[in-house]
Amino acid sequence: MHMLIRIIVHAEDEKKAFGKAEKALNELTKGEKYFDAYSTFDNEGTRDSYVDWSYLQHVMLASSPNGKHFIEKGWENTVKGYMEAFEQVKLAIQYLSLEEIMERKYPEDLPEDIKKRINILSIQVYFDELGNQPGHPKYLYHDHEPILCKTELEFALKPAEGQKVYVVPADVHY
């Protein structure tokens, strides 16, 4: 599957920002542990996608209208993904035993309507999604570190002296 992530970096200029983001993306795809491939928006190929990403530039100032909107959307998606995973984890804890979570199977007597609410085949994935590692549904990164909460996002958006905050979009595959 694909997702569009945002790499937030602190740098003196666009060129350095993009270089830093590429370094972060190499880190995030290393060993295919979190993502297995990425493409940035500095080539036309990426733009041939079925989604209209025409408003994206390959590097944006985080404080520009497009940059700001792009980061906000990333944060919304992160929270949405987190809450979805949280709901699944809550259901798993409520209705499944340790063994059933481990083996990804419903208890025999679980009513059909509850079965429908629990995505049993992916149940362990939702636990991972609430964890602190990179990967879906973490849409925002500060260099290669996933931004897990609002405090970390605020921190990422505060530049050190002499630097600006940039955001670099990347399509990643996992």
| Binding positions for another protein, rule: CB under 8 A | 79, 82-83, 86, 89-90, 93, 98-99, 101-104, 124-133, 148-151
Q: How far is the CB of 57 from another protein (least distance, A)?
A: 30
5 touches 56 (CB < 8 A): no
Q: How far is the CB of 90 from another protein (least distance, A)?
A: 6
Q: For residues 47 and 117, which CB has a smaller minimum distance to another protein in the complex?
A: 117
The CA angle 71-127-26, to the nearest 5 degrees, is 50
Residue at 96: amino acid letter: L
Q: For residues 115 and 150, which CB has a smaller minimum distance to another protein in the complex?
A: 150
Q: How far is the CB of 69 from another protein (least distance, A)?
A: 22
Q: For residues 125 and 157, which CB has a smaller minimum distance to another protein in the complex?
A: 125
- Going by their DSSP bridges, the two strands 145-146 and 2-11 should be labelled as unpaired
Residue 146 has φ and ψ, to the nearest 5°, of: -70, 140
Q: How far is the CB of 47 from another protein (least distance, A)?
A: 33
Cα–Cα distance for residue pair 105/152, rounded to 1 Å: 36
